[in-house]
A and B are shown apart, each in its own frame.
Chain A
């Protein structure tokens, strides 16, 4: 069992007061706070090991390279990938999805092909496919969700066909927290020969993820949503698929040779090994080191414990908010089928008013579309406020939040 009070001691920011109230940070689906262990790893890197990675023969470069490679190894182990060849470091989930869209989709999608996208996706798993469809002319088809925001598997079964080349879905909705049955979808997709790309931005930080068990082809996530720094994330891809793909960005590091033919006056280029083929230019080395520290921190807690803690908090929040007659909650009510994300509105107030009011009491929540406008249109909502929990949140913070909600209801 996880002890949030002990964990809180690792997070210096949680000692802050905002607007004269103790900080209650409930915006974890947007980004998480950083423990001393991550902050320390970043500082230590710049104080002791900073150098550019790979192809440097000096000691610092070798040490930096080793750290950066170890970071890939730690991330691979964390999601049970088959080693570092399957882990590409990117800026975050958005870049990971764009990598798949352009390095795979640009060459493999055309004409009658279809890309299946669920209506609960974050814009980052919609826009790249819409952009690409304007270039290649394929169809983007949207799979319906149920009234509670969970994925409609029957609709998915009806939508998938021989035309489907790739299925793009989130593992956990960033609006409702609903956990999708990725394994089931992957099985259905593979029966039609389609690939599966999963946006794992809201799952990897909150529950155990095993990409081999899920049997997905691509899996994307961000470091900053799992205690790591911003600007670093990872794309998992099955080795055999990554091997066949052309690079995304061109530049240094991603090539093995660029040979110049003096007669034809052309260059011929061969690619570096995986995963470096997809990591052009000087990478975010320090970000990788910070992400490794975050992964080690989460592993020391245990992802089952993280999930259990969030489930307990979600249950408590669902129960306590029933005391608020003007508060309407969206998405599934059963805490066991979702992560610690709760979208809500207060009758007669915009979500931004609610967020501003809570801010006055030191409670940080998000308001708006949460980059998922289509899902809000399904819910017929102008916007929503959203609380999202993590390992350092407590029942007492939820109790305080509910008390302030009651104040808001009196407006």
Chain B
């Protein structure tokens, strides 16, 4: 279709919503908008029609740097062999209180 060449591309934004005070913002999805202000408005209309949020972040998808999801990715390996970081690594007698 002839429109393809001329059509203005609205960039993709990722949307994060804080469900209520005291909670983190959580990723809920994405949307297209011409600019960040429009992305915020669209995010409100799209992701919080039923009081799902008290605060919204929008971030250009292009601006996100992500780790690789590959199964054999060594990125997360450093935490795999450090069992001593977990409290269960340390045996404590059952009769020691408040531990």
A and B: bona fide binding partners: no
Chain B interface residues (CB < 8 Å from chain A): none
